[in-house]
Amino acid sequence: MAGKAPSGDPVQDAPEVSAPKHAAAGLPAVGHSLRMAHQQMGVRRTALTLIKVNQKDGFDCPGCAWPDPAHRSKAEFCENGAKAVAEEATLRRVTPDFFAEHPVSDLARRSGYWLGQQGRLTQPMYLPAGADRYEPVPWERAFEIIAEELTALASPDEALFYTSGRTSNEAAFLYQLFAREFGTNNLPDCSNMCHESSGSALSETIGIGKGSVLLEDLYRSDLIIVAGQNPGTNHPRMLSALEKAKAQGATIVTVNPLPEAGMQRFKNPQHAKGLVGGGTALSDLFLQIRLGGDQALFRALNSLLFQAEAEAPDTVLDHAFIDEHTHGFEDFAAAARATDWDEVLRATGLERAEIDRLLALVLKSKSIVVCWAMGLTQHKHSVPTIREVVNFLLLRGNIGRPGAGVCPVRGHSNVQGDRTMGIFERPAPAFLDALEKEFGFAPPREHGYDVVRSIRALRDGDAKVFFAMGGNFVAASPDTDATEAAMRKARLTVHVSTKLNRSHVVTGARALILPTLGRTEKDLQAGGPQFVTVEDSMGMVHASHGGLEPAGPHLLSEAAIITRLARAVLGPDSRVPWADFEADYSLIRDRISRVVPGFEDFNARVANPGGFTLPHAPRDSRTFPTATGKANFTAAPVEYPAVPEGRLLLQTLRSHDQYNTTIYGLDDRYRGIRGGRRVVLLNPEDAAAHGLADGAYVDLVSEWSDGSERRAPGFRVVHYPTTRGCAAAYYPETNVLVPLDHTADTSGTPASKSVLIRLEGGTDRPV
């Protein structure tokens, strides 16, 4: 029934298991998404809301960051977008009565699924020091409490300002402005756990930490390699783009330890054929790689390109491009020629013939795009892995040409825009100069803390106030026990949120929950109705207009919360006209247009229904704003995770029924799992080697070089066609296994796709 949350907390470790699916979307996806939407919002609201998703007069889908095509269909959303919308537009409400009924100690025992299912937060809530119940608090008092704690700090650097990636450009710009006028660059964000490795590798090699392709490039591409990504679940609308690319002649290669259904076959729900027919086979070649083997794979491919060039000079490499636009070619060539094939085969788990097959496809393709997501970014050696992808593309001039380029597929719907707006703990000096010029205060220059450093700072007493603009920091971060202990040391934790989550119940001495509008809702301010803007994964900026009545009369927009907070904390001395910004967001956009390159004339250009495309020097003109002024080849040693006998590598990934820490349901339909999340997918031969039947229960125990161990108990074994030696289990349940210090070199991203584990335990289901 719409509006009612399940009462009990369901069992999550006894799923039904059937064979994995070989196709994604189609009719079951339509049915599934409508069922969930009806449960949350009823039939009428579902219909009225879903027709506005990603339409030019509607709102940007709060799901993923995949771009919208120029010609939009009437239903420009996917199954999981519909779930994301339903989760926000739900009719369920969390009121002060709910908090009176449920003390924090009770809520702390509930699952993340249960917490999220309770509905939308409706009033600001305050947890006083020593109390076990949140109580309602007026907004003004909430801002006073925050101001008390912030102004009592010995230094502004004792405060942390986290951002998750749904925050609009306008709110993100204000938020970083507030943090910097207050005096700190401590702006950790979800990107630190996500595509930071892409940003690091791309900034260094091509001069900009963003992808270089537009949708048209995918359609024009000859070869698309999708590595370390599960679009069928996480970016379902990408499947439509791949289908179209395929129809126009592209070959598609998938590199993944798992045979993900979406990459095998796609039944496009927008065509009758897709609904009832067999759909389109997407992947032409599937390389079932070992976890962490991608750097070795691309290095091997590069060495084969050199070999092919030696056999047929001037036919394989793009010498004109290399000579004119790149730096570091000779060193890289030497490294690639020295490739150790035994190592390649060990690291990738592939056969030489499979890599040769990929080579043949590469050699006959003029234009190549490489797409990737968390399978490439969350390893210790992620940055050199992505640099190797760049090397591969540079060799044949595949950057800055139609149909070719790098395509890191971003996660949260505005995570890329938040960065563009200055949510970054290591801002570029030019950005700070522009802020200083525009607002007349001197922003701090010293770098701030990223996510992992923020947790250490809390743990060590160097940070005392934690403020989050969205997200679910304690559940999304690694090393759950250490992170929770660190958070409990804070003096004050504040969450600007739409839904209840774990971070609201693992708090500092005092805590606040500040309920905010979601993107689906109307945003009415003193200056009239407001809209916000977002940037998608391909650097397109457009407006998002919410249409629903807000979830309650007490909600404030994110922008309003920041402006009021800023006034409470900074007082009349602030150089920023906060009240004006709250009343009229176009005034914020005017300032953005003067601070952030590419946003010139922002208000006028965003009035164009499709929005506008941000400049991207490598894509637009083959200019590379790097330290050398060229695109940089890099020659790092090949790395891959070492796995001792009897141990497995575990990746922590998403099921089909979750959005990060938001759990929509307990099914992972494409992988054949129903009604549970505590599962570990094991290759049947690995399971046999451990004497584990399908359905046995084990503890996952991670082991680290410092001798420490971490345990996640009670996982049901599922025999699954994953690469030998490579296990998989869902996040966030497995975040307990990933130590804080297990991060990617250079980017600092938690290496949550390569966790060394052993399996312990019996066969019976634990009670």
Ligand X SMILES: Nc1nc2c(c(=O)[nH]1)N[C@H]1C(S)=C(S)[C@@H](COP(=O)(O)OP(=O)(O)OC[C@H]3O[C@@H](n4cnc5c(=O)[nH]c(N)nc54)[C@H](O)[C@@H]3O)O[C@H]1N2
Residues in the chain: 767
Give the residue among 255, 469, 243 at the shortest CA–CA distance from 373: 255
Give the DSSP H or E segment for 16.
strand 16-17
The listed partner (ligand X, Mo ion, none) that binds 521, CB under 5 to 8 Å by sort, is none
Give the residue among 575, 452, 583, 463 at the shortest CA–CA distance from 527: 583
Residues in contact with 679: Cβ distance below 8 Å, sequence separation at least 6, in sequence order = 13, 15, 17, 673, 715, 716, 717, 718, 729, 730
Contact pattern from residue 520 through residue 559 relative to ligand X, giving x for each residue in contact according to CB under 6 A and a dash for the rest? --------------------------------------x-
Cα-based distances in Å from 172 to 100, 107, 408: 33, 30, 22
Cα-based distances in Å from 574 to 486, 527, 567, 578: 32, 22, 8, 9
Give the DSSP H or E segment for 586.
helix 585-595
Q: How far is the CB of 56 from ligand X (least distance, A)?
A: 21
Backbone angles phi and psi of 529, in degrees to 5: -65, 140
Our finding on whether 279 is near ligand X (CB under 6 A) is no
Give exposure, 489-504, as e/b (b: 16+ Cβ within 10 Å).
Answer: ebbbbbbbbbbbbbbb
Neighbouring-strand partners of residue 543: 533
Amino acid at position 304, single letter: L
Q: How far is the CB of 102 from Mo ion (least distance, A)?
A: 30
Contact between 671 and 720 under an 8 Å Cβ cutoff? The reply is: yes
Contact between 535 and 137 under an 8 Å Cβ cutoff? The reply is: no
Q: How far is the CB of 653 from Mo ion (least distance, A)?
A: 12
- Spatial separation of the C-alpha atoms in residues 4 and 25, rounded to whole Å: 27
Contact pattern from residue 578 through residue 607 relative to ligand X, giving x for each residue in contact according to CB under 6 A and a dash for the rest? ------------------------------
The listed partner (ligand X, Mo ion, none) that binds 45, CB under 5 to 8 Å by sort, is none
Nearer to Mo ion, 63 or 292 (CB): 63
Nearer to ligand X, 558 or 582 (CB): 558
Give the residue among 250, 619, 227, 242 at the shortest CA–CA distance from 389: 227
The interface with ligand X within residues 188-207 (CB under 6 A) comprises 190, 193-194
Q: How many CA atoms lie within 13 A of 644 on its CB side?
A: 7
Residue span binding ligand X (CB under 6 A) among the ranges 609-617, 624-632, 657-665, 699-707: 657-665
Nearer to ligand X, 54 or 234 (CB): 234
Our finding on whether 232 is near ligand X (CB under 6 A) is no
How do strand 631-632 and strand 326-327 relate by DSSP bridges?
Answer: parallel
The interface with ligand X within residues 304-343 (CB under 6 A) comprises none
The listed partner (ligand X, Mo ion, none) that binds 39, CB under 5 to 8 Å by sort, is none
Neighbouring-strand partners of residue 492: 465, 510
- Spatial separation of the C-alpha atoms in residues 58 and 68, rounded to whole Å: 12
Q: How far is the CB of 377 from Mo ion (least distance, A)?
A: 9
Q: How far is the CB of 240 from Mo ion (least distance, A)?
A: 21
Interface residue with ligand X among 123, 221, 229, 398 (CB under 6 A) is 229
Our finding on whether 651 is near ligand X (CB under 6 A) is yes
Our finding on whether 658 is near ligand X (CB under 6 A) is yes
Amino acid at position 683, single letter: N
Nearer to Mo ion, 119 or 750 (CB): 750
Q: How far is the CB of 265 from ligand X (least distance, A)?
A: 16
Nearer to Mo ion, 317 or 738 (CB): 738
Give exposure, 687-725, as e/b (b: 16+ Cβ within 10 Å).
Answer: beebebeeebbbbbbbbeeeeeebebebbbbbbbebbeb
The interface with ligand X within residues 436-495 (CB under 6 A) comprises 469-473, 476
Q: How far is the CB of 67 from ligand X (least distance, A)?
A: 14
The listed partner (Mo ion, ligand X, none) that binds 502, CB under 5 to 8 Å by sort, is none
Contact between 417 and 589 under an 8 Å Cβ cutoff? The reply is: no
Nearer to ligand X, 260 or 523 (CB): 260
Over 693-746, what HEC string results?
A: CCCCEEEEEEECCCCCEEEEEEEEEEECCCCCCEEEEECCCCHHHCCCCCECCC
Our finding on whether 733 is near ligand X (CB under 6 A) is no
Contact between 206 and 757 under an 8 Å Cβ cutoff? The reply is: no
Count the site residues for ligand X by CB under 6 A.
Answer: 61
Q: How far is the CB of 462 from ligand X (least distance, A)?
A: 21
Our finding on whether 230 is near ligand X (CB under 6 A) is yes
Tokens of 461: 């007493």
How do strand 662-663 and strand 697-703 relate by DSSP bridges?
Answer: unpaired
The listed partner (ligand X, Mo ion, none) that binds 113, CB under 5 to 8 Å by sort, is none
Our finding on whether 411 is near Mo ion (CB under 5 A) is yes
Nearer to Mo ion, 412 or 495 (CB): 412
Interface residue with ligand X among 40, 221, 480, 516 (CB under 6 A) is 516
Count the site residues for Mo ion by CB under 5 A.
Answer: 2
The listed partner (Mo ion, ligand X, none) that binds 518, CB under 5 to 8 Å by sort, is ligand X
The interface with ligand X within residues 740-759 (CB under 6 A) comprises 752-753
Nearer to ligand X, 237 or 325 (CB): 237
Our finding on whether 408 is near Mo ion (CB under 5 A) is no
Nearer to ligand X, 348 or 398 (CB): 348
Cα-based distances in Å from 141 to 297, 464, 495, 564, 760: 57, 20, 15, 11, 51
Our finding on whether 80 is near ligand X (CB under 6 A) is yes
The interface with ligand X within residues 46-65 (CB under 6 A) comprises 63-64
Q: How far is the CB of 470 from Mo ion (least distance, A)?
A: 13
Nearer to Mo ion, 585 or 664 (CB): 664
Interface residue with ligand X among 427, 731, 740, 742 (CB under 6 A) is 731
Nearer to Mo ion, 194 or 701 (CB): 194
Our finding on whether 116 is near Mo ion (CB under 5 A) is no
Contact pattern from residue 190 through residue 219 relative to Mo ion, giving x for each residue in contact according to CB under 5 A and a dash for the rest? ----x-------------------------
Q: How far is the CB of 112 from Mo ion (least distance, A)?
A: 17
Nearer to Mo ion, 398 or 752 (CB): 752
The interface with ligand X within residues 697-726 (CB under 6 A) comprises none
Contact between 100 and 647 under an 8 Å Cβ cutoff? The reply is: no
Our finding on whether 730 is near ligand X (CB under 6 A) is no
Total Cβ atoms within 10 A of residue 751: 24
- Spatial separation of the C-alpha atoms in residues 340 and 167, rounded to whole Å: 46
- Spatial separation of the C-alpha atoms in residues 317 and 308, rounded to whole Å: 9
Contact pattern from residue 237 through residue 276 relative to ligand X, giving x for each residue in contact according to CB under 6 A and a dash for the rest? ------------------xxxx-x----------------
- Spatial separation of the C-alpha atoms in residues 236 and 111, rounded to whole Å: 27
Kindly report whether the peptide bond that precedes residue 236 is cis, defined as omega within 30 degrees of 0: no
Q: How far is the CB of 68 from ligand X (least distance, A)?
A: 15
Nearer to Mo ion, 193 or 565 (CB): 193
- Spatial separation of the C-alpha atoms in residues 374 and 719, rounded to whole Å: 23
Question: Nearest to Mo ion by Cβ — which residue?
Answer: 411
**What are 431-439's contacts with CB under 8 Å, separation 24+?**
431/595, 431/596, 432/180, 434/594, 434/595, 434/596, 435/177, 435/180, 435/595, 438/591, 438/594, 438/595, 439/177, 439/181, 439/575, 439/576, 439/591
The listed partner (Mo ion, ligand X, none) that binds 593, CB under 5 to 8 Å by sort, is none
Give the residues lining the site for Mo ion (CB under 5 A): 194, 411
Give the residues lining the site for ligand X (CB under 6 A): 63-64, 80, 164-166, 190, 193-194, 227-230, 233-235, 255-258, 260, 289, 291-292, 294, 373-375, 378, 411-412, 469-473, 476, 496-499, 501, 516, 518-519, 558, 651-654, 658-662, 731, 734-735, 738, 752-753
